[in-house]
Structure formats: structure tokens, C-alpha cells
């Protein structure tokens, strides 16, 4: 199925892509797939992880840190960073006050730590601030964003802060970040889901919330969208045949699954006329070879 609305060039022409969706639907996979596709086109790409544990297989147990690094030897222009709020906070404050000793005295104080950890939105603000500063250094930054609700919080916190804090650098920076997030030329949010009830419902709701915040929602990636080989006629013949009940049961299961896929595609169609399939994978822990396979398949659809 060739998609007519979106193509890879348009997608990777942005400077900042956020990949989000319900937990466990393939956000990290899609972030890397898009990263590989953009890197192959010669772009200098940075993938931002906010929870680096999800890539453990790719980096073979190594921890990705707060400094961008290359993790795939055959992709020299693909970089990965793990942005954690504490490091981002320290970097930001040091930028403001310039004295490490002062930072230590003030912000490593136990009580201040409590406060920093408990202040809602502060962690998100620090992370998105770091992402903002990285956009200038790469052709394309792809954020493997948190799941639905938290992902939305990450994208809306700059607006909240800039409208609450009118003076001082914090308010001004929040405003600049918010402007970048709302710049349709530069920023797009890419959603991924699987053909199941809750993920589909949440994805549609999330897209509506994002649009109501005037954020630009791009194409939808439908993960685990399998190809079904049996036709209705095949199934009729099989159910009438002398195959074992086990086999007939499986064939029935298969047709129920196919109906479900059609059903969910239909629900998604109103919100996302533009759907891109990600092939079905049998293991959730896969390496570069599998990612490249998915990238090739996706590339064919939108290339």
C-alpha cells in the first residue's frame, strides 16, 4: 500500500520529531527506524532516549549517558543520548550561575533535592529544555518520548511555564521552546499504535488533545499489522474440509484477528487518513538486523 499523503523526505525535513503512543506499542523501535532512514539519507541524526533501558539489546547492556554517542558502527552520523532530568537540571543551573561550588552548596542540599523531585513538571521542563538545545547541533533530533499522558505533559510544559513565569530567563526560555514545538516547519509528532482496543482508543484521543494544543500531528505508524493470507473463500473451504479441529480453530482465530485489524484500521482512518504499516516481529528484543528490515519495509511505503 503506497501512501500518497506523506513521504519520507517531508518527514525527515523536520528538525524535531517526537515519537509517542501507548506503552509497549513500539515507540523505541520506530524512533530507531526513523533514525536509520534519515541517517541513510545523509542526515546527521540524534535519537533522544528519556528511558534508555528500552534499548538494552542494541547497546548490549551498556548504559547510554548524557553525552551523545555513536552506537552503531555502520551508521557514523547516527547518535544517541539519554537525557535524564537530574543531569539536565544541573547543566541548566550551572549555565545560569556559573559556579559549580555554588551549585553543590545549593542544589545538592537534601531539602532542595526533595523540592526538585516533588515539583510537578520540573523534570519534564528540564528534559525538553535539553532537547531544545540539542536541535541546533543536528539536522534531525528524534525523541523517543514517554507514553501518551506523560508524552503530552512533556510537550505542554513549556507553554504552562511560559504563561506562569513572565519574568526571568526561565520564562523566556520556556517561551522559545514552546515556539519551536509549535513551528510546523520544524516540529512534528509521530504516533505509533498496535491494532488493539486500548492502544487505538488512546492514540485517537491523544491525537485530538495534541491538535487542540495546536501541535502538528504527522502520520500514524501501525505496528504489528500483519498480512493475512487466507481469503474468505479459503476459510469456508477449510471449515468444510476434514482438517483437524485444532487446525480449523487456528484458521478461525486467524480470521477473527483479520477482522479486528480491519475494524481498528477503520476506527483510525478518521483521525489518521495516512497510515504506515510496521511489519510484524516475533520477538520484542531484536537487534540492528531486524531494525534494518523494518526500516526497509517502512522506507518502501513512504520512500
DSSP string, 115-175: HHHHSTTHHHHHHHHHHHHHHTTSSEEEEEPPPHHHHHHHHHHHHHHHHH--SHHHHHHHH
Task: Give residues in contact with other proteins (CB under 8 A).
Answer: 22-25, 93, 96-97, 102, 105-106, 109, 111-112, 114-115, 117-121, 124, 147, 153, 160, 163-171, 196-199, 201, 226, 229-230, 234, 237-238, 241-244, 246-247, 249-254, 256, 260, 282-285
Shortest Cβ distance from residue 109 to other proteins (Å)?
6
* Helix (H/G/I), strand (E/B), else coil: 302: helix
Q: Specify the residue, 113 or 211, whose C-beta has the smaller distance to other proteins.
A: 113
Shortest Cβ distance from residue 213 to other proteins (Å)?
14
Q: Specify the residue, 18 or 264, whose C-beta has the smaller distance to other proteins.
A: 264
Q: Specify the residue, 68 or 121, whose C-beta has the smaller distance to other proteins.
A: 121
Residues of 224-248 as b/e, b for ≥16 C-beta within 10 angstroms? bbeeeeeeeeebeebeeeeeeeeeb
| Start-to-end CA span in the chain (Å) | 12
| Residue with cell string 532542595 | 112
Q: Specify the residue, 24 or 273, whose C-beta has the smaller distance to other proteins.
A: 24
Query: Which residue, among 51, 14, 21, has the nearest Cα to 222 in the 3D structure?
Result: 21
Q: Specify the residue, 67 or 284, whose C-beta has the smaller distance to other proteins.
A: 284
Shortest Cβ distance from residue 231 to other proteins (Å)?
9
Per the DSSP assignment, residues forming a β-bridge with 46 are 79, 141
Shortest Cβ distance from residue 185 to other proteins (Å)?
28
Shortest Cβ distance from residue 35 to other proteins (Å)?
21
Amino acid at each position: 500500500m503506497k501512501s500518497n499523503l506523506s513521504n519520507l523526505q517531508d518527514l525527515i525535513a523536520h528538525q524535531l520529531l517526537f515519537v509517542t503512543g501507548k506503552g509497549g506499542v513500539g515507540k523505541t523501535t520506530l524512533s530507531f527506524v526513523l533514525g536509520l532512514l534519515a541517517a541513510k539519507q545523509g542526515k546527521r541524526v540524534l535519537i533522544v532516549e528519556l528511558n534508555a533501558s528500552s534499548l538494552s539489546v542494541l547497546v548490549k547492556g551498556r548504559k547510554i549517558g548524557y553525552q551523545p554517542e555513536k552506537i552503531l558502527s555502520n551508521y557514523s552520523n547516527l547518535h544517541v543520548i539519554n537525557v535524564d532530568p537530574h543531569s539536565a537540571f544541573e547543566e541548566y543551573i550551572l549555565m545560569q550561575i556559573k559556579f559549580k561550588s555554588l551549585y553543590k552548596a545549593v542544589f545538592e542540599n537534601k531539602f532542595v533535592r526533595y523540592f526538585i523531585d516533588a515539583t510537578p513538571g520540573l523534570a519534564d521542563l528540564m528534559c525538553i529544555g535539553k532537547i531544545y538545545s540539542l536541535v541546533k547541533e543536528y539536522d534531525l533530533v528524534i525523541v523517543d518520548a514517554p507514553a501518551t499522558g506523560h508524552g503530552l505533559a512533556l510537550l505542554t510544559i513549556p507553554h504552562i511555564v511560559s504563561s506562569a513565569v513572565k519574568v526571568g530567563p526561565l520564562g523566556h526560555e520556556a517561551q522559545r521552546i514552546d515556539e519551536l514545538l509549535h513551528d510546523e516547519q520544524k516540529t512534528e509528532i509521530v504516533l505509533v499504535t498496535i491494532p488493539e482496543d486500548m492502544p487505538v482508543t488512546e492514540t485517537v484521543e491523544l491525537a485530538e488533545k495534541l491538535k487542540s494544543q495546536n501541535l502538528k500531528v504527522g502520520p500514524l505508524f501501525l505496528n504489528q499489522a500483519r498480512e493475512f493470507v487466507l481469503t474468505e473463500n479459503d476459510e469456508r473451504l477449510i471449515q468444510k474440509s476434514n482438517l483437524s479441529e485444532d487446525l480449523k480453530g487456528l484458521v478461525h482465530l486467524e480470521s477473527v484477528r483479520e477482522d479486528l485489524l480491519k475494524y481498528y484500521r477503520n476506527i483510525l482512518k478518521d483521525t489518521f487518513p495516512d497510515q504506515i504499516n510496521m511489519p510484524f516481529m516475533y520477538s520484542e528484543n531484536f537487534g540492528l538486523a531486524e531494525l534494518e528490515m523494518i526500516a526497509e519495509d517502512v522506507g518502501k511505503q513512504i520512500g
